[in-house]
Amino acid sequence: MRQVEASVVSIREVMPGCYQLCVAAPGIADAAHPGQFVMVRCGDKLTLRRPISIHRVTESGEVYLFFTGAGLARESAVSSGRKIVPVSGKGEGTLWLSRRKKGDKLDLLGPLGNGFTVNPNSRNLLLVAGGIGIAPLVILAERAISQGKFVKLLLGARTKEVLYPGGLLPGGVEVELVTEDGQVGRKGMVSEYVFEYVGWADQIYACGPRAMYESIAREMIERNAEKPVQVSLEVRMGCGVGACYGCSIPTKQGVKRVCLDGPVFNLDEVLLEEVRL
Ligand code: FES
């Protein structure tokens, strides 16, 4: 883990309210593992850092971060052209972050967390992204493809307007799109299609909302599928380095800290009903 002052290389809104921020941070890029995150200090007045997923890294030392700009109202607010005003400070940090410009300096701490585990013998990886859950899966797909693995991505979103742009995905990923209204790709929830690929996949990785995890877990049990699913949890964090216990969650193995023991857990290990996601 390092604390670095990184320069903003670029920032762009890739979906309504969702930003891809590229910073020059070679020390973090070299050490980053898929599924890890950084803590970003968002402004001088905000004492706490914000956890942001590492989305991609490049060989030239750039780190791409993916985050949402201002709480859950972002999609409709941005797409309708309204000004975003955070309520009670919620989303204030990431709103500040979304306003950074090329050349600005950012204070980053990372890479943090455990990241995903890929078995050397696995050939077929199934990735399941619900909405902005795509954030940590792009770097995983990129690494896996560079190691000669086959990657299938089930990419879901509420509507086509909030679907992650296919052009930003690494080449070689086989993508299946799912939208709730069926305007693009298959209709319904992305979790409904996971089981079609369970037999094919050597390992499964998911990132998305709680309902998606619950649905996958239910289906795995009902169908007696014994394939492990690694999930990335997004919870509120204080320190990000294991000191404050603010990110503690109950698991079958006792209380664990998402920032230190996670953010990646085996789905069957997490007591989902007791976790605030
Ligand atoms: Fe402080 Fe995890 S955020 S222990």
Q: What angle do CA 141, 147, 153 make, to 5 degrees?
A: 25
Q: Is the CB of 125 under 6 A from ligand 1?
A: no
CATH 2.40.30.10 intervals, the chain: 2-112
The CATH T-level fold of domain 124-274 is Rossmann fold (3.40.50)
Q: What is the pLDDT of residue 76?
A: 39
Which top CATH class is 2-112? mainly beta
Counting atoms of ligand 1 from 1, which one is nearest the CA of 242?
A: 4
Per-residue pLDDT tens over the stretch 68-114: 875 444 443 433 444 433 333 457 888 899 999 999 999 999 999 99
Q: Is the CB of 39 under 6 A from ligand 1?
A: no
Q: What spacing in Å lies between the alpha carbon of 258 and ligand 1's midpoint?
A: 7
10 Å CB burial of residue 108 (0-12, 13-18, 19+) is buried
Q: What is the pLDDT of residue 85?
A: 39
> Which two structure tokens, joined as six digits, stand for 53?
């997923």
| 76: Cα within 13 Å, side-chain hemisphere | 3
* SS3 at position 229: strand
Helix boundaries (H) for 32-84 = 74-79
Q: Is the CB of 243 under 6 A from ligand 1?
A: yes
Per-residue pLDDT tens over the stretch 125-163: 999 999 999 999 999 999 999 999 999 999 999 999 999
Q: Per-residue pLDDT for 274 more than 50?
A: yes
Residues above pLDDT 90, as percent of the chain: 79
Model confidence band, residue 200 (pLDDT cutoffs 50, 70, 90): very high
Q: What spacing in Å lies between the alpha carbon of 51 and ligand 1's midpoint?
A: 10
CATH 3.40.50.80 intervals, the chain: 124-274
Counting atoms of ligand 1 from 1, which one is nearest the CA of 239?
A: 1
